[in-house]
Amino acid sequence: MSAFDLQKKLVSGDLKVTEAANLFLSQHEQVDSKVNAFVELEKEKVLKQAQALDELSAEQRQSKKLFGVPVAIKDNICVEGTETNCASKILKGFTAPYDATVISKLKEAGAILYGRTNMDEFAMGSSTETSSIKKTANPWDLERIPGGSSGGAAASVASGQVPLSIGSDTGGSIRQPAALCGVVGFKPTYGRVSRYGLIAFASSLDQIGPFARDVKDAALLLDVLAGADPKDSTCSEEAVPNYLEAIDKDLSGLTAGIPEEYFIEGIDPEVEAKVKEAIAQLEKQGVKIEKVSLPHTKYAVSTYYIVATAEASSNLARYDGVRYGIRSAEAKNLNDLYFQTRTQGFGDEVKRRIMLGTYVLSAGYYDAYYLKALKVRTLMKQDFDNAFKKVDFIVTPTSPTPAFKMGEKVDNPLSMYLSDIFTISANLAGLPGVSIPCGLTQENLPVGLQLIGKPFGEETLLQVGHQFQQATDHHKQSPLL
């Protein structure tokens, strides 16, 4: 059942919130020992929230857009009174002292906060293998990765443990795992959703967004998450349209841009074939197809890994063993305290990115690397601006390959970084993007179709995605766990 239909059933009283919660908890007990999507899920907390919702009057229920619907939370989003670790040893034992804005909005909308999902440490990774807590498996093939960094959030929805979840996307961390797990993952425009209470990786790139089984459910959740927030100075005051109203318009009159730079050597042939079939389907539905060029795309990976690591170096400097998280017991003085705490607390990938970021910000290298990367970022944004003068949205693959085997790329950072080659441009340009299931490979692995929109063009992406799903059944396929 979709989250949309479930909410209607719960509001009407046809199904009690406690009954629905118990059904999801039962699914969790059956499958999560194989998938490992969650780092924490307390049955008592879930049922306590459900019981409180069951006691609300009919009038109170009507006003709550997510009444009784369970939503899983990525482990880098603060929930007051709950441990929040970013899947890192350095934050072990840290309890969030306040709610993130998105959490306050979920509570207000009547959602059930349904446990914390696993992730790559500090959202740095494309496979959820850098988590210090556990490795999450792809529900379609338990020997493969679910994508990252929001691998647990994607896998929790794909395995039927929750109808909705929220993650964060810095370079593809919502869209890439959504593609590999066969669900919908939406990265909103930078500033569309408040980042207050999201533990920062790269502040000019991070954005919170929804995971769902279908686009209508993603629209329902985005409707709750989006909007201005005085607590986040980067959050836009742009008015939020009614996303659920937008999705029912047909596609005639829309133009899709196909960038030649995204169909490159090295893309998996089956991925390319499925994406091209999806483009043909959109054409059948009245979308005009036009080729566009995004010439600076070839610099996306190198630009991203300068900008993102520089911001990570700055943001992660706060983890010093003094204020929160673990503190080394072996330190002899203050410098030693910093050194020992960070050595013991951070994993290899986080250390690698801190060192890269510190290097590109250091005297003598700042202009050569960081400043140049910012200039290239501006050129990439201009590429998109030029393309959007001719087209309404852009269509690309989400990931160059289906899900790969666990351990396959863990010792080759560059190969791992290239997993995000099609998603990071949208973050650098601050644009909205969504990944939608568009078929299965011969090995029964999901393939994702990415739609990239104009700034604050979420409506168009949801409209296109929903209409595509009305004509296809790829999103109805489920893994046989």
**Which positions are annotated as active-site residues?**
74, 149, 173
CA distance 182 to 154: 8
Residue 228 CB partners (closer than 8 Å, separation 6+)? 194, 235, 236, 237, 238
Quickly list H helices, 119-200.
151-158, 175-181
Q: Which two tokens stand for residue 234?
A: 């980067």
Residue bearing tokens 């969650």? 38
CA distances from residue 168 to 24, 149, 224, 226, 302 in whole angstroms, order as listed? 23, 8, 16, 14, 21
CA–CA gap between residue 464 and residue 471 (Å, rounded): 11
Distance CA 127, CA 120 (A): 7
In whole angstroms, what is the distance from residue 289 CA to residue 268 CA?
22
HEC sequence for 359-423: HHHCCCCHHHHHHHHHHHHHHHHHHHHHHCCCCCEEEEECCCCCCCECCCCCCCHHHHHHHHCCC
DSSP state of 458: H
Please give the Cα distance from 125 to 127 (Å, whole number).
6
Whole-number Å distance between alpha carbons of 147 and 421: 13
Token output for 156: 């929790």
Instruction: Tell me the sheet residues that pair with 74.
Output: 117
